[in-house]
Amino acid sequence: MSVVKKIFLYLYIGLKNIFHLSYFISTLLLFITYYSAYLHPSSFILLPLLSLLFPVFLFLNILWILFFAFFFHLKRLIVAVLVQWFFVTDIQNFYAINWKEKPQHPENTLSVLSFNVKLFDLYNWQNNYLTRQKIMEYLKNNPADIMCFQEFYTSEDSNDFNNLQELKNLFPNYYFHSEYFVTLRQNDHWGLLTISRYPIIKTAVIKFNNAKNNGCIISTIAFQKDTIQVINLHLQSYSLFKKKKWRPNQKPDDENFFEALDSTAKGKNFIDKIYQNNTLKTQQAESILRFVKENLYPTVIVGDFNDIAHSYLMRLLKNQHFKDAFVEKGNGFGFTYHDKIYLRIDYIFYNDHFKVLDFITENNKTTKHLSDHYPIRCLLEIKK
């Protein structure tokens, strides 16, 4: 055998081994990232990052299937397809396929809207006067029975935006439940708002002891002959593009923790930020689920979870028998966040008392410039 042929032979064998090793490693990482969501994020610093990487390796396995099919590697193709089949239900979390039927509207249905309004463009990311009015116009033209807003801002200052009053003027026959987690200059408020077409007969608030800009409000609503609860929440952000000052091993109850959260300074590295913020977010969700566990009402949990569909937090919700309306009736990727990166981090969950009839992520030209989040809405039917 000539030297040239030997070189090509060794090169072929080497590349073949590299491909086989690459597939083995990517498959191993796929299973590792999948099972990382079964462990509490505080257990190990890399766990939250591994969980975030699961959809990447899930997509990579699809590419391997196409590669093996193209080059007729039958044995490898069968293995790759079997691996993908193991995760077939998880694909629906990231890309939903549901047959769309024209939803019926029987008397016992309830339309729900969730929208992170980004403070109505308070800090003039685009043009606060125009954006604010466009949001109001959108809500006027597309109302829902229950509307939940995160990053809600309002002010009683005559020179500022009284968004709460304008919404009350827009929906005079609705019931309002607002809670503020930050108030400055006595008149300027940041928090959450829930608006209901049906009477709100009781309210509650869960304030997190590990973050002052996030929280949860619970509205108990008289809906026909039933009583339902709507939980509107905004959980800790990953803050990947923000500089924040963190102190090593700082506990959430530390008296200086709030200051550390909100101070602009040199931030931690990428992995530390994901770990820290995911731990905080899980603590917040656990405090909400403790409340939910004691609740026997038909319940809807909506809001900005700041988390992907494959995570420890989402597994907690599913263990409490909550279903994701997007998975059941949505279509496509369903991205709700669209600033710098595209993610699905806003959700509408419902318990076994409901059946979902329709789900829409309103990612169109009108809503694209209203906020860095798209509004999501669904139609729920309460079971009799």
Distances (CA, A) of 194 to 151, 301, 328: 12, 12, 24
More confident residue, 247 or 103: 103
| This prediction's pTM | 0.88
Question: Which pLDDT belongs to residue 212?
Answer: 76
Residue 90 has pLDDT above 50, yes or no: yes
Question: Which pLDDT belongs to residue 246?
Answer: 42
Do 304 and 116 form a contact (C-beta atoms < 8 A)? yes
Q: For residue 334, how many other CB atoms are within 10 A of its CB? A: 24
For the segment 340-368, the average pLDDT, to the nearest whole number, is: 94
Q: Cβ neighbours of residue 303 under 8 Å, at least 6 residues apart?
A: 114, 116, 148, 150, 192, 216, 231, 232, 233, 234, 235, 346, 347
Residue 252 has pLDDT above 90, yes or no: no
Mean pLDDT of the chain: 86
Question: Which pLDDT belongs to residue 108?
Answer: 86
Question: Which pLDDT belongs to residue 209?
Answer: 80
The 10s digit of each residue's pLDDT in 136-169 is 999 999 999 999 999 999 998 877 789 999 999 9
Question: Which pLDDT belongs to residue 242?
Answer: 54
Q: How many residues does the chain have?
A: 384
Q: What amino acid occupies position 116?
A: N
Question: Which pLDDT belongs to residue 141?
Answer: 96
The 10s digit of each residue's pLDDT in 1-48 is 576 666 666 665 666 667 778 889 999 999 999 999 999 998 889 999
The 10s digit of each residue's pLDDT in 255-283 is 444 444 443 334 567 888 889 889 999 99
Question: Which pLDDT belongs to residue 107?
Answer: 78
Phi and psi, residue 277, nearest 5°: -70, -35
Q: What amino acid occupies position 365?
A: K
CB under 8 A, 24+ apart: contacts of 320-323: 320/289, 320/292, 320/293, 320/351, 321/351, 321/352, 322/349, 322/350, 322/351, 323/349, 323/350, 323/351, 323/356
More confident residue, 161 or 100: 161
Question: Which pLDDT belongs to residue 112?
Answer: 98
Give 231's Cβ-side CA count (13 Å radius). 29
**Element of type H or E holding 313:** helix 312-319
Burial of 135 (0-12, 13-18, 19+ CB in 10 A): buried
The 10s digit of each residue's pLDDT in 299-338 is 999 999 999 999 999 999 998 899 999 999 999 999 999 9
